[in-house]
Amino acid sequence: MTRLSCHRVRSNEVRLWLSVIAYNLGNLWRRLVLPKRIDGWSLTSLQQRLVKTGGRLIKHARHYWLLLAESHLTRRLFGAMVRRIEALPGCPLGPAG
């Protein structure tokens, strides 16, 4: 933290707060959603395996298929995360939403 990217103090403060919020949201997401098998992964590992994974969404006969690159999580782990997201209170993806 000795070098900051912006020349103005206020800009650096805003950038720092955004980083803190993003880190806290990532940890909250990790604790609420991740299956036990991978809940110890670092946020960097999760980012590389989930967010930076290439893929393609294909619609075929009223169904959507998500085809992911080989570096993605297994189908079982990905499905477990989706089910845990759906089970969160107030989630619009769940059966009650």
Please, is 35 exposed, middle or buried when counting C-beta atoms within 10 Å of its C-beta (0-12, 13-18, 19+)? middle
CA distance 46 to 39: 10
Instruction: With cut-offs at 50, 70 and 90, classify the pLDDT of residue 97.
Output: very low
pLDDT in tens, 10-51: 888 888 888 888 888 888 878 888 888 887 888 887 777 766
pLDDT in tens, 38-85: 878 888 877 777 666 677 889 988 888 877 776 666 778 878 888 888
Please report the sign of the dihedral spanned by the C-alpha atoms of residue 27, residue 29, residue 33, residue 37.
negative
Quote the pTM value.
0.50
Q: Quick one: pLDDT at residue 11?
A: 83
